[in-house]
């Protein structure tokens, strides 16, 4: 059954046969653009690098994080960067240091090793843990082959691992 609209469309096609083909070309062009765009989107999504995972939150229970914090502190002591090492201290440790009225260098090394340079700072296998702290023993080696054992306590303070006592 034919409608009036079919008659109008057929009459227009007879009068102007090129009019219908122009719209077909435009529809084909739009279809090709969509196919190319979909392929380009798929290609981009499948070949891009995945986003970098965020670092894990600071945790006293993670031995790797505690070891890295202690190692960074020990490296700063070896390199005589005591001011930077002081930035790794907790608020409580900074208050204790202020009450002692000593520098971090003098407080850790004491009077006996005050004028000696730390050649090597190593962690020992001796460790201790509580719910809120982790204690690591460190051996400080000096130029004259003397050794000082320092007990460093690490806490989680404001989302970072900080040295709390020695």
Q: 3-state secondary structure string, the chain?
A: CCCHHHHHHHHHHHHCHHHHHHHHHHHHHHHHHHHHHHHHHHHHHHHCCCCCCCCCCCCCCCHHHHHHHHHHHHHHHHCCCHHHHHCCECHHHHHHHHHHCCCHHHHHHCCCCCCCCEEEEEEEEEEEECCCEEEEEEEEEECCCCEEEEEEEEEEECCEEEEEEC
| Same domain? 15 vs 42 | yes
Considering Cα of 13, then 14, then 15, then 17, what sign does the dihedral take? positive
| Same domain? 37 vs 93 | no
Residue 106 domain-assigned (yes or no): yes
Supply the pLDDT for residue 58.
87
Task: Name the β-bridge partners of 151.
Answer: 137
Residue 54 domain-assigned (yes or no): no
118, 102 contact by CB (below 8 A): no
| Same domain? 102 vs 67 | yes
| Same domain? 32 vs 95 | no
Q: How confident is the model at residue 27 (pLDDT cuts 50, 70, 90)?
A: confident
| Same domain? 79 vs 37 | no
| Same domain? 40 vs 93 | no
The predicted model gives 132-141 an average pLDDT of 89
| Same domain? 123 vs 73 | yes
Residue 120 domain-assigned (yes or no): yes
Distances from the Cα of 13 to the Cαs of 19, 20, 21, 47, 103, in angstroms?
7, 7, 10, 48, 96
pLDDT exceeds 90 at position 103: no
| Same domain? 20 vs 72 | no
pLDDT exceeds 90 at position 111: no
| Same domain? 36 vs 114 | no
The predicted model gives 114-119 an average pLDDT of 84
| Same domain? 159 vs 107 | yes
pLDDT exceeds 60 at position 17: no
Question: Containing domain of residue 29, as a range?
Answer: 4-47
| Same domain? 72 vs 153 | yes
Number of structural domains in the chain: 2
| Same domain? 148 vs 80 | yes
Q: Apex CA 159: angle with CA 156 and CA 160, to 5°?
A: 60
């Amino acid at each position: 059954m034919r409608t009036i609209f079919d008659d109008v469309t057929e009459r227009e096609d007879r009068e102007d046969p090129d009019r219908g083909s122009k719209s077909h070309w435009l529809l084909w062009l739009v279809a090709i653009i969509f196919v190319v765009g979909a392929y380009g989107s798929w290609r981009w999504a499948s070949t891009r690098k995945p986003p970098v995972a965020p670092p894990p939150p600071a945790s006293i229970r993670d031995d790797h994080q505690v070891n890295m914090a202690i190692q960074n502190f020990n490296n700063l002591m070896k390199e005589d960067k005591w001011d930077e090492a002081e930035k790794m201290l907790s608020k409580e440790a900074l208050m204790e240091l202020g009450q002692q009225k000593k520098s971090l260098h003098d407080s850790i090394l004491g009077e006996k090793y005050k004028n000696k340079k730390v050649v090597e700072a190593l962690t020992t296998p001796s460790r201790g843990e509580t719910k809120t702290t982790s204690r690591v023993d460190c051996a400080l080696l000096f130029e004259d082959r003397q050794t000082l054992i320092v007990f460093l306590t690490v806490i989680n303070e404001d989302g970072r691992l900080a040295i709390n006592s020695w």
